[in-house]
A = this chain, B = another copy of it.
Amino acid sequence: MSRIPVAILGATGMVGQRLVQLLLNHPWFEIGALCASERSAGKRYGDACTWRLEGDEPPAWVFDLPVVSTAPEAVPDGIRVALSALPGSTAKTAEPAFRAAGYGVVSNASSFRMDPDVPLIIPEVNPSDLSWLDRQPGTGFILTNPNCCAVPLGIALAPLHEKWPVEAVCISSWQAVSGAGYPGESAWDIVGNVHPHPGDEEEKLTEEPQKILGASFPSSARCVRVGVADGHLMSVQARLAGDPSVEEVLEALRGFTSRAPELPSSPTPLIHVDTRRDRPQPRLDAMRGNGMAVSVGRVEACPVMGIKFYCLAHNTFRGAAGAAILNLELLHATGRLPAA
């Protein structure tokens, strides 16, 4: 059976490599084009990119693929979908160009996440926001996934919010270095150290979950980078309307099922509830459910906010690359992909 070809924008970076890896054995999609900067265009993929993911490399034919420019006209005919791993600055112009050319753009970039016409989707949580795509003119569109911390936070809050609306939330994070791309953080800042995030990560983690949950509540985040390769851990202290008990919260987390149609990359269970006192941990738990599950642990009464817990997910499988591919799967399953 033939698979749908996909253009990968920003194919040489860390998230781009993860997209390549995930498409290699995907049941529905395959690599259609590898787009990168002008400096890389025209080269073999293997020459344009230094592969830095763990384990076996892709087969040799992948490295022999040609890299093309990040422009619709550079992409071979017959491709109508693009997965974007572009940095924000480039995404700002490149993604609208692809949309204008009729592409369905599924983006991990932050540029358009908070645009009111652009859905910000975690398929298992808010698939119905796909309807916002109709507000975007023409056949092309841009669809985004959240920041790699906002994904597990949004998933962990979803089953709670539907029963006991979130009234306020305090968050602290222990974030992996892969979230910063490559070269990303300097080793000097991380070795035997932790590094408070100087950028706007805290703002993203504050506003994106509200858009996903379709709610508005005070939220306050502290984001710190730590010596972990992959996997973002967060402590969440939340005030929920109705003040549910620990048992009710555990039951809601355990009972949560995806609101999307069945998708190949969505794991069962989606939320792994751990009752051990020192879990979840990034190195041990990030790869649950092939890296697509969210771990929640230490659900306890919070004397200040009502309820508290840890949540964790792999930031390039469940966040970033995997988040984008799940959105692509959702588009396909709901018949919303542009016809080639």
Contacts and interface: CB of A to CB of B under 8 A. Distances in A.
B54 A220 contact: no
Nearest to A306: B220
A191 B54 contact: no
A222 B172 contact: yes
Nearest to A267: B56
A72 to B, nearest CB: 32
Given A194-B233, A206-B303, A227-B226, A287 B220 contact: no
Given A56-B289, A188-B177, A283 B237 contact: no
Given A222-B172, A282-B193, A227 B227 contact: yes
Interface of A: 14, 52-56, 168-170, 172, 174, 177-178, 180, 182-198, 206, 218-220, 222, 224-229, 233, 235, 237, 276-289, 297-298, 302-305, 308, 310
Contacts of A56: 287-289
A56 B310 CA distance: 18
Nearest to A206: B303
Contacts of A193: 192, 228-229, 281-284
Contacts of A280: 196
A186 to B, nearest CB: 4
Given A220-B304, A283-B54, A288-B55, A186 B183 contact: yes
B174 A284 contact: no
A52 to B, nearest CB: 7
Given A233-B194, A277-B196, A220 B305 contact: yes
A272 to B, nearest CB: 8
Given A54-B286, A54-B287, 8 more contacts: A174-B226, A184-B187, A184-B188, A190-B190, A192-B283, A193-B284, A197-B278, A226-B226
Contacts of A184: 186-188
Given A227-B187, A308-B222, A195 B281 contact: yes
A116 to B, nearest CB: 21
Contacts of A279: 196
B226 A188 contact: no
Contacts of A297: 196
A237 B221 CA distance: 9
A316 to B, nearest CB: 11
A229 B283 CA distance: 9
Contacts of A276: 198
A318 to B, nearest CB: 13
Nearest to A172: B172
